[in-house]
Amino acid sequence: MALNILIVDDSPVMRSFIRRVVGLTGLDIGEICEAGHGREALAVLGVRWMDLVLTDINMPDMNGEELLRHMEQDELLRTVPVIVVSTDASVNRVQKMMALGARGYVTKPFAPDSLAAEMERALEVTHA
């Protein structure tokens, strides 16, 4: 079944880069949606089923951590795997996001292969 992916990042350049990488994974990709911050992401998630969310942390309006908290509080959304894609490589931040429910963490800048590998790993857990 084709996978719907939601890319959440306040940088349009980063969103289109991630979109291209997603297209190169070889995974069966359905719809790719984009959001500029957490609030926009929640609006998309409210109307469309997404199989995977790739989210930045530092964004205006609602950041990635708040997005994750909101998703974890929702019975349905908490089942959607989230991979954090951030410039913040500090151990504290990574541990905090994983403790909040993130399924994976990729540090920017990243090689396309590392995001692809993280996506496959996150989705495998889901289908296990």
Type of residue found at 96: K
Q: Which stretch binds Mg ion (CB under 5 A): 40-48, 49-57, 69-77, 93-101?
A: 49-57
Crossing angle of the two packed helices 112-127 and 12-24, in degrees rounded to 10: 70
Type of residue found at 90: S
Contact flag: residue 58 with Mg ion (CB under 5 A) = yes
Closest to Mg ion by CB, 25 vs 55, is 55
Q: Least separation, in Å, of the C-beta of 59 and Mg ion? A: 5
Contact flag: residue 66 with Mg ion (CB under 5 A) = no
Contact flag: residue 10 with Mg ion (CB under 5 A) = yes
